[in-house]
Amino acid sequence: MSESYIFALDIGTRSVVGVVMHETPKGLEIVASEHLEHQNRAMIDGQIHDIEQVAKAIKVVKEKLETKIGQTLTQVAVAAAGRALRTVRLKMNNDIVEYKEIHRDDILRLELQAVQEAQNKLAESDHHEDDSLNYHCVGYSVVNYELDGFRIGNLYGQKGKNMSAEVIATFLPRVVVDSLFAALQRVKLEMTSLTLEPIAASAVVVPPSMRQLNIALLDIGAGTSDIAITDDGSIVGYGMVPIAGDEVTEKISQEYLVDFNQAEIIKRSIYNHDEIKFADVLGIEQAVPKEDVLEVICETVQYLAKQISERLIELNGRTPQAVICIGGGSLTPLLKDMLAENLGLSKQRVAIRGREAIAEVFGAQELMGPEAVTPIGIAVTSFEHKGLGFAWVIVNNRQVRLFERGTVADALLAAGVSIRRTMPRLGMALTVTVNEELKIIKGGRGKPAIVKLNGHDVTIDTPVKHNDVIEFVEAIDGENAKGYIYDVVQDILPISISINEESLTINHVITMNGQAVTFYDELVDNARIVHYLPRTIADVLEIAGYSDAENEYDIYVNEHIVDPMTEISDGDVITIETKNEPSLIEISSEDGDGQLDLMEEQYVQSALEVAAADEESESGVITLVYVNQERVEIPRSDVILTDILTRINFSLQPPEPGMRLEMKVNSLPAEFTTPLRNGDNVNLEWI
């Protein structure tokens, strides 16, 4: 067959129409056409139900056309019924790794993830969750982009933490395309172009020059009524009603007890005969006035007109300026006038158009009527390369079919490859707090996917052509973060001291979630880590085993008496002596130069006060207070808050670094020198 010829088939519910067209200096010319009705209901509502029967009809049409043109037909352009088209609107979000600049590959990957998720959603709605490949994506458009929750015109070159894309994706059920392929393969025809019936019809009946008007094109066939709407220079919507001329035929069949084919003949005879004669299934001959038949079908036609009108207004949002009807079903008696009535239009604004509406195509004048529009439109659409061609490509040794002008990404989608697997996912980060400071260990980056086209490294937006070979190795996700104490805690050198001439090393103390750990213990996500080097006399004595040293011993650091909260340094010499208050006074008074240093004077004064307290206790003077709800008796009258600290079981060492001691007397803030009276309530708490 010459490459300048186009063979187009309109495989409809009621019949198969074929045309052969080529280009001449005067325009497009139909050199041959053929029409054949199905012998039985091999197709229902635009979908092939009996592949063998449809293939037989195609074969008859093909052979008759070959005889007329004297050439063998091997390639064909076809159309899918508009009822098969499915659309899904979906929004997809992706986090942006490390606040990096957004590249075109990132945007394409985001869009295709949205398309793939729309494909999955469509499969779920049809209860085929396990096979999203039941649908071919025939195109998608982006509604809008967002960056960090704000709408933005273009993501390219931007930076942020999160990006999203909302898309409208359009799909054809695979069974529609596959059944067309199967029927054509049985007669050795290769499908070179696929379009949708309403798109094909619009191409020739509503040319771009008319699309500034708000016009509705109704392609009313036997099983479905497809709708296309134009406005503001373009086609703005498609829709479908799953009923058409067969509804009226079935009504006649039931009313007059005839088979479906006879009922179709009766319906078509209404226009040409005042009286319609036929034999019912019982063999009874009947002659029925056409007025009686019109009365029988009136209610059904009204229902059909109402369904189409309501769907049309729903799609358009208002009544269109005019309606153009094509397809054999548009000739259904009463339908044109009832459409006008339901739409609120004058009868002149609803018109049935046929071959005469197609000015740029000539030849084969026998191909007339509204049913001729779609097959001619399919041929014109294919000739102008506006249909969807096909390519076969190999993805990881698997042959897949995709629409032409596709990319590597389209091939991966067709092969069922998850687009998310083209880029590695960053491993989960590990988060801990160290002395109340947040620390984060990042997860691994992983390895990107390997994508090769015919042996060469490519990106997923690289175009593919027929017989291309694609090799794809999935991306490897980054490993989740892993760390150890030494990754987040800096080592602190120990302190070496001596206590009563015995050496002692004070080491770094580390806890994780309250449990003691070492530098080599593994981190736990969201762990709370506390670390410090014990520095106070109280800490050191507790480590050394002097549990109550501040009450039972006198403590000297480098020969100077100190209190338990004194901080130590590396190399300090600590001396611990058993308390003996009277001898201390004597020792103090016998000092060689007769002078006491400040620390010794404070200690002697404390000892004298204790002795005085003992004298007062002998006289029976007692101060009774309650400390953290526990009863404490002090054998003195002039008591301050410090006096009770040696008489209660309350640690003066903070439980954790950074905590402070809150002191209250009778619910009021207090200090160490706050006086206490009989019956006072004291509260001590580390916060």
Average pLDDT value for residue range 587-607: 43
Residue 82 has a pLDDT of 62
- 345: tokens are 């239009």
State which amino acid sits at residue 263. A
Dihedral (CA of 374, 376, 379, 384) sign: negative
Identify the burial level of 22 via C-beta atoms within 10 angstroms of its C-beta, where 0-12 means exposed, 13-18 middle and 19 or more buried.
middle
Of the chain, the end-to-end C-alpha distance in Å amounts to 93
**DSSP-based three-state secondary structure for 120:** helix
At residue 334, the pLDDT reads 92
Digit-coded pLDDT (tens) for 504-526: 888 888 999 988 898 899 999 99
Q: Is residue 345 helix, strand or coil?
A: coil
Average pLDDT, rounded, for the chain: 82
The pTM score is 0.56
Please, what are the domains in the chain?
A: 5-74+188-383 (3.30.420.40), 623-686 (3.10.20.30)
What pLDDT digit, counting tens, does each position of 473-490 carry? 988 888 999 999 999 998
DSSP H or E run through 269: helix 260-269
Confidence (pLDDT) at 84? 64
Residues contacting residue 602 through CB under 8 Å, at least 6 positions apart: none
* Residue 458, both tokens: 């490519």
Phi then psi dihedrals of residue 647, to 5 deg:
-110, 5
Statement: residue 148 has pLDDT above 80:
yes
> Which pLDDT band, with edges at 50, 70 and 90, does 127 fall under?
low
State mean pLDDT over 388-403.
Answer: 80
Residue 209: φ, ψ to 5° = -65, -20
Give whichever of 295-304, 416-425, 538-547, 610-619 has the largest mean pLDDT: 295-304
φ and ψ at residue 342, rounded to 5 degrees? -70, -30
pLDDT 10s digits, 269-285: 998 889 999 999 999 99
**φ, ψ for residue 217 (rounded to 5)?**
-100, 125
- Above pLDDT 70, what percent of the chain? 88
Q: CA 461 to CA 419: how far, in whole Å?
A: 12
